[in-house]
Structure 1
Amino acid sequence: MRSFIKSFLHISKLPLTSNINKKNTVNMVHHEWVGAGLTSTYHDHTVKLHNQLADYAFNGRFDKALECIEEDPDLVNSWRLRGPEDTRPASGWTTLHQAALLSTSTISHIERLISLGAWRNLTTVNTNQTAYDIAKANNRSRDILDALKPHYERRVDEEIVKNLQRGLEEVINSRVKRMIEQNRFRIPTVAVLLELQGLSLWCPIPGFYGGFHIQLKEDNSIQTESSCRVAGGSGQTHVISPDGTWKITADGLY
């Protein structure tokens, strides 16, 4: 699947920074956000994989859903893609959200999804619920609730999380707003960032020929590094403060 996304979106898998070398890359824990919601963004084969998985999950066929994800782990946090003519926003329901809802899922299904990289802190778009919220509302068993509890590599005050989210959205839109709108792209959430080992995330942007490397720093600020790999000198570094304000700290890079 990665080859289809990479060739179609014209993106690289790693931030294009001058201080990243092969040795560092090998040891880096890599998490990627794929936020586009439209079928037109992707190669036909990738669309088929996304929506086949969404069908299996929606219909409670979690053994089949896991087979799809085990064959292509990049699908684990994907959701159903919509055609350009469909004006509804993406639901944002991943396989883990469906497993939290449906009684055909078992604790083994859920634990396997999490082991494959399913994000417990990711909320749905249309209902703004984590998998834990969904499971609790549907009276799932205690072992399932325990497995789905949101996970944090670092605890950050809720108000700071809201500020950082606002600032991150402003930074990304300041560079690629047209592409965000064209692809109905969901901007990464700080809640997911807090769940990830390394507290960092790579966010490729369709049509940008690049993307944003997003990192939570020790002082709870967020640093983003972004560039378009076909435009020399396009690299920028932004720092978002815990109060949500942000500034460009480096420009004209790479």
Structure 2
Amino acid sequence: MHHEWAGGCLTSTYHDNYAAKRNKLADYAFNGRFDKALECIEESSMVNGWRLRNPEDTRPASGWTTLHQAAMLSSSTISHIERLISLGAYRNIRTMDTKENAYEIAKKNHRSREILDALKPHYERQLDEQTIRNLQKGLEEVVMSRVASIIEEKKFRIPSVEVLLELPGLSLWCPIPGFYGGFHIKLREDNSIETESSCRVAGGSGQTHVIQPDGTWKVTASGLY
């Protein structure tokens, strides 16, 4: 299964139709209408989408996905939650405002043991918390070294290492809006992260970076593609 990170936080990042669908999904989830939310997800493959802000809205994005809302609201059932997970909902992703994953939200809201068990974070490979923090810091530095102006302008959310650790294959693709390319991100056997990035309209723009478990990183290849 191909895993793609959709880190945009502004409506202007996407086509109007897609942005409207994303925010309709966010409305359904916020209001606890999980049958309708699931219909929307099954039609549009936006299971990990959060509400997009208008560019003039100075509030930061909350980053609450449908699974986060389902973890909190009593109108969700175990069937809703299991279906979301089967459709690819990330259990490890944290909200952008409260920095909580779905399990922590469910526990705080006294959800059933069955729901808590379903929402426990999942790791294809276990790393200690400090290593995860180091890798996250290094990944953010690598991405910013390549596309800082785009990240800042579009308020783009850089991929989460915790999500990477959840994915079969331990890899994901992160397209960068306005870059005409993006980052292939993969956890290697030695627990370092390798990123390959390029811009399709700029020949020789490709670079490979390796981020070590201590957070240090370097360019290992450039002038590619």
- 2:23 matched to 1:43? no
Match of 2:94 in 1: 123
Provide the rounded CA distance (Å) in 1 between the counterparts of 2:162 and 2:15: 29
User: Which runs of structure 2 are paired with 1:89-128 in the superposition (5 Å)?
Assistant: 89-128=60-99
- 2:35 matched to 1:72? no
CA drift of 1:157 comes to 1.3
Normalising by structure 2, what TM-score? Answer: 0.99
User: Which runs of structure 2 are paired with 1:1-254 in the superposition (5 Å)?
Assistant: 29-73=1-45, 75-254=46-225
Provide the rounded CA distance (Å) in 1 between the counterparts of 2:74 and 2:213: 40
Match of 1:21 in 2: none
CA drift of 1:72 comes to 1.6
Deviations 1:72-125 (A, max 9, x none): 22x000000000110111000000000000000000000000000000000000
Aligned partner letter, 2:134: N
CA drift of 1:158 comes to 1.1
Provide the rounded CA distance (Å) in 2 between the counterparts of 1:158 and 1:80: 28
RMSD over aligned CA atoms reads 0.4
Q: Structure 2: give runs of 5+ residues left out of the alignment.
A: none
Deviations 1:186-241 (A, max 9, x none): 00010000000000010000100000000000000000000000000000000000
Provide the rounded CA distance (Å) in 2 between the counterparts of 1:144 and 1:186: 28
Normalising by structure 1, what TM-score? Answer: 0.88
Provide the rounded CA distance (Å) in 2 between the counterparts of 1:110 and 1:160: 30
Q: Structure 1: give runs of 5+ residues left out of the alignment.
A: 1-28
Q: Say which SS state the counterpart of residue 251 (structure 1) adopts.
A: strand
Q: Which runs of 4+ in 1 moved over 3 A?
A: none
Higher relative contact order (CA 8 A, sep 6+): 1
Provide the rounded CA distance (Å) in 1 between the counterparts of 2:12 and 2:43: 23
Q: Percent identical across equivalent pairs? A: 76
Provide the rounded CA distance (Å) in 2 between the counterparts of 1:155 and 1:107: 26
Q: Say which SS state the counterpart of residue 249 (structure 1) adopts.
A: strand
Provide the rounded CA distance (Å) in 1 between the counterparts of 2:25 and 2:140: 29
Aligned partner letter, 1:58: F
Aligned partner letter, 1:68: C
